[in-house]
């Protein structure tokens, strides 16, 4: 789940508008805080409570991250995720 400040106005949905960078394999990422068991990461443009920011999202397989990649290659609608 993204590192989103949930102290703001109540809103149970996060909108992912696009992939800014990636996908990257865990071997390409210089980060000591990689979630256990996850191997692929993208940086995505996220909207929460009316604010835009870039957040990391981790996936367990290349096939899982490709679902997002294919979505944003063919659609302009955001992906909505419940917190």
Interatomic CA distance for residues 2 and 7, integer angstroms = 14
Average pLDDT over every residue of 16-36: 92
15 compared with 31, residue with greater pLDDT: 15
Average pLDDT over every residue of 40-63: 95
- Inside any domain, residue 35: yes
- Inside any domain, residue 49: yes
Q: What is the mean pLDDT of the chain?
A: 87
- Inside any domain, residue 7: no
- Using CA atoms, how far residue 64 sits from 8, 41, 42, 51, 58, in Å, is 30, 10, 11, 26, 10
> pTM to 2 decimals?
0.81
Domains held by the chain: number: 1
Domain hosting 61: range is 13-82
- Inside any domain, residue 8: no
Interatomic CA distance for residues 20 and 51, integer angstroms = 16
3 has pLDDT over 70: no
34 compared with 5, residue with greater pLDDT: 34
- Inside any domain, residue 68: yes
1 has pLDDT over 50: no
Q: How far apart are the first and last CA of the chain?
A: 8
- Inside any domain, residue 4: no
Phi, psi for residue 24 in degrees, rounded to 5: -120, 140
Phi, psi for residue 46 in degrees, rounded to 5: -120, 140
């Amino acid at each position: 789940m993204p590192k989103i400040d949930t102290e703001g106005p109540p809103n149970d949905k996060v909108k992912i508008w696009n992939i800014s960078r990636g996908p990257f394999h865990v071997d390409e990422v210089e980060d000591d805080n990689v979630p256990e068991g996850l191997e692929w990461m993208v940086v995505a443009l996220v909207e929460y409570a009316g604010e835009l920011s870039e957040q990391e999202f981790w996936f367990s397989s290349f096939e899982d991250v490709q679902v997002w990649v294919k979505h944003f290659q063919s659609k302009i609608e955001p992906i909505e995720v419940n917190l």
